[in-house]
């Protein structure tokens, strides 16, 4: 049963029973209140009521401020028009207590009240806007608009979920590739260290064999490889932690050189007419090898010190 049918039946019942009509008018709910309520329901069903207008938020980094400004101007203009129409009708409207005058006045008052409530909802949404510079206030009118907005939000949420899933897959792949690269780097570092140690071992064995045989042979290829290894060590090792070690090695090499020279001189001076342990040529070759190693370490130490000073200046 619709509101019009109920009102017709009530009017029929009131015409048949005048006393009942008086009781309805004098009761808690009058016919005028029922009529007002009916008009409000009709306005809502016909989508002419501002009570159907609500607000939500939408991210718009480029035009959020412009949207908010235009919407606020429209609502201010609507509220001003509602007050203006009500004031004009009260001043220049039809005089008298006719039913139409009361209906028109009640209708304008309803429009003014709905406009004020709508403006209050907008002001509340404006105050609660988390980021006014990038978030726009979007009006929603009626259930159809709300349903479309909900569907749009669900579709966007699904797109965001898919994008997030793709991002997670990409992150997993990148993590796996990163772990694989780390394993490869660790393997390369171990191989590099092994090659470096093997090279040092081979160089030491060559020096020992040459010293044992009494023949010192200059190998330019081995010297170049040794210099390259020293340069690589200087580029990979930390400067601060190895400067002191290099200086210690330099001091140790110098001490070994001094002790060796002292030992051989004492041995020659005490041996008398006996044959020396080494010939002058062998001694010069060994001394040259020691000087070459000492010079390489000294050069590496100076380079490390200059690099440390440069890093200190940059910091």
Per-residue pLDDT of the chain (315 residues; tens, 9 = 90+): 333 343 343 334 344 444 444 444 445 666 666 766 766 676 666 566 677 788 888 888 788 888 888 888 888 888 888 888 888 888 777 665 667 777 777 778 888 888 888 888 889 888 888 888 888 888 888 777 878 888 888 888 899 899 998 999 999 998 888 888 888 888 888 888 888 877 777 777 766 666 655 555 566 666 777 777 777 766 666 666 666 767 777 777 777 777 777 766 776 666 554 555 556 776 677 677 766 666 666 666 676 677 667 666 765
Q: Look at residue 244 and tell me if it is in a domain.
A: yes
Distances (CA, A) of 148 to 119, 142, 152, 184: 23, 10, 6, 53
So what's the pLDDT on residue 237?
61
Yes or no: say if 234 and 281 are a contact pair by the CB < 8 Å rule.
Answer: no
Q: Look at residue 196 and tell me if it is in a domain.
A: no
Cα separation, 216 vs 223, whole angstroms: 13
- 92 is written with which tokens? 């220049």
Q: Look at residue 291 and tell me if it is in a domain.
A: yes
So what's the pLDDT on residue 1?
34
Residues 6+ apart with CB under 8 A from 171: none
**Domain span at residue 271?**
216-315
DSSP per-residue letters across 77-121: HHHHHHHHHHHHHHHHS--S--HHHHHHHHHHHHHHHHHHHHHHH
Q: Look at residue 164 and tell me if it is in a domain.
A: no
CB hemisphere CA count around 17 (13 angstroms): 10
Helices (H), the chain: 3-16, 18-26, 31-45, 64-92, 99-127, 142-213, 220-236, 239-271, 280-314
So what's the pLDDT on residue 234?
64
Q: Give long-range contacts, CB 8 A cutoff, 24+ apart: 260-267.
A: 260/286, 260/290, 261/287
- Terminus-to-terminus CA distance in the chain, angstroms? 85
So what's the pLDDT on residue 10?
37
Cα separation, 248 vs 65, whole angstroms: 68
Burial group, residue 298, by CB count within 10 angstroms (0-12, 13-18, 19+): middle
Q: Look at residue 309 and tell me if it is in a domain.
A: yes
- 302 is written with which tokens? 């100076």
Task: Quote the pTM value.
Answer: 0.40
Q: Look at residue 73 and tell me if it is in a domain.
A: no
Number of other CB atoms surrounding residue 46 within 10 Å: 8
Q: Look at residue 9 and tell me if it is in a domain.
A: yes
User: Which residue among 30, 46, 62 closes a domain?
Assistant: 46
- 68 is written with which tokens? 């908010």
Q: Look at residue 300 and tell me if it is in a domain.
A: yes
Strand 135-141 to strand 53-59: parallel, antiparallel, or no bridges (unpaired)? Answer: antiparallel
User: Which residue among 28, 46, 64 closes a domain?
Assistant: 46
So what's the pLDDT on residue 132?
84
Distances (CA, A) of 75 to 51, 91, 109, 130, 137: 13, 24, 17, 21, 12
Cα separation, 85 vs 91, whole angstroms: 10
Cα separation, 149 vs 130, whole angstroms: 20
Number of domains in the chain: 2
Tell me 55's DSSP state.
E
Cα separation, 39 vs 109, whole angstroms: 13
So what's the pLDDT on residue 50?
74
């Amino acid at each position: 049963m619709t509101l019009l049918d109920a009102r017709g039946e009530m009017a029929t019942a009131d015409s048949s029973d005048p006393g009942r009509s008086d009781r309805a008018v004098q009761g808690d709910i009058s016919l005028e209140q029922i009529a007002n309520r009916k008009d409000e329901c009709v306005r809502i069903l016909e989508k002419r009521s501002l009570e159907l207008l609500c607000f939500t938020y939408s991210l718009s980094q480029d035009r959020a401020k412009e949207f908010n400004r235009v919407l606020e101007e429209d609502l201010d203009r609507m509220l001003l028009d509602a007050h203006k129409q009500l004031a004009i009708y009260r001043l220049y409207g039809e005089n008298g207590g006719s039913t139409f005058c009361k209906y028109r006045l009640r209708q304008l008052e309803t429009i003014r009240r709905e406009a004020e409530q709508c403006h209050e909802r907008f002001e509340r949404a404006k105050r609660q806007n988390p980021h006014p510079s990038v978030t726009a206030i979007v009006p929603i009118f009626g259930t159809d608009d709300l349903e479309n907005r909900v569907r749009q939000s669900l579709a966007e949420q699904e797109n965001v979920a898919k994008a997030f899933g793709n991002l997670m897959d990409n992150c997993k792949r990148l993590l796996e590739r990163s772990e694989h690269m780390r394993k490869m780097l660790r393997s390369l570092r171990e191989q590099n260290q092994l090659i470096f140690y093997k090279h040092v071992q081979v160089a030491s064995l060559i020096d020992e064999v040459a010293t044992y045989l009494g023949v010192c042979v200059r190998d330019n290829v081995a010297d170049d490889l040794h210099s390259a290894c020293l340069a690589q060590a200087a580029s990979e090792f930390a400067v601060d932690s190895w400067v002191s070690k290099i200086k210690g090695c330099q001091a140790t090499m110098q001490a070994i050189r001094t002790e060796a020279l002292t030992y051989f001189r004492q041995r020659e001076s005490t041996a008398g007419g006996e044959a020396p342990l080494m010939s002058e040529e062998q001694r010069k070759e060994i001394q040259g090898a020691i000087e070459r190693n000492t010079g390489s370490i000294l050069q590496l130490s100076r380079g490390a010190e200059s690099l440390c000073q440069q890093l200190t200046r940059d910091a």
